[in-house]
Amino acid sequence: METSIKKLPKSQIEILVRVPVEEFNNFIEKATLDLGKELEIKGFRKGMAPKEIAEKEIGPGRILEEAANQAIKENYFKAISENKIEAISKPEIEVLKLAPGNPFEFKAKISVLPKVKLPDYKHIASQVKKREVIVTKEEIERLRTEKERIEKERVRQEILDKIAENSQIEISEVLVESEKKRMLESLKQQVPQI
């Protein structure tokens, strides 16, 4: 197997694979045997017809197609492994040359992880001007007031949660149902306004 790699734009690679005649003939033999195993010909047990008869029955086009599929499957993975390519997509396969007595050629176009080139971040950071942070007394007071309000609300909610947790109350089903109906009616009126 011979491979050549061509880098394409947008993080894609094209791999051209050429399988020599001798190697492709092995795939043709294997394809003939594989297809012949499922063949039913009158006068022979399933898959046991002689090779010549099986070849005539299957047809040279079907045998070549199966041989090509097997050659692609084996050689594509071998090519990306040998060339240390990290594919992130399924390959787009295109058969370039498929004929008996000739080398088999196909190309596979795949996407790979993009190469990221970062600029000199230290230079960029040195160009950004830093501004002095000024905090006024009003801002501090406003933050303090807001924080105190939030804390009071948290304490109040925690007290209510503890009371609800430790309270035992029996509520009538009629009261629960009437409250549900009231809330549902209120919701129905609010939905069109939204």
Indicate whether 173 pLDDT > 80.
no
Residues in the chain: 194
pLDDT at 141 over 90: yes
Does any domain span residue 125?
yes
Q: Are residues 37 and 101 in the same domain?
A: yes
pTM: 0.57
Q: In 3D, which of 126, 128, 149, 146 has the Cα closest to residue 138?
A: 146
Q: Which of 43, 99, 113, 108 lies closest to 74 in space, CA to CA?
A: 108
CATH value at residue 48: 3.30.70.1050
- Secondary structure (H, E, C), 160-174: HHHHHHHCCCCCCHH
Residue 83 included in any domain: yes
Do residues 126 and 86 share a domain?
Answer: no
56 and 22 within one domain = yes
Which is higher by pLDDT, 50 or 126?
Answer: 126
Residues 164 and 69 in one domain: no
Asked if 61 and 138 sit in the same domain, the reply is no
Report if residue 116 sits inside a domain. no
The answer to whether 57 and 37 are in contact (CB under 8 A) is no
Residues 28 and 82 in one domain: yes
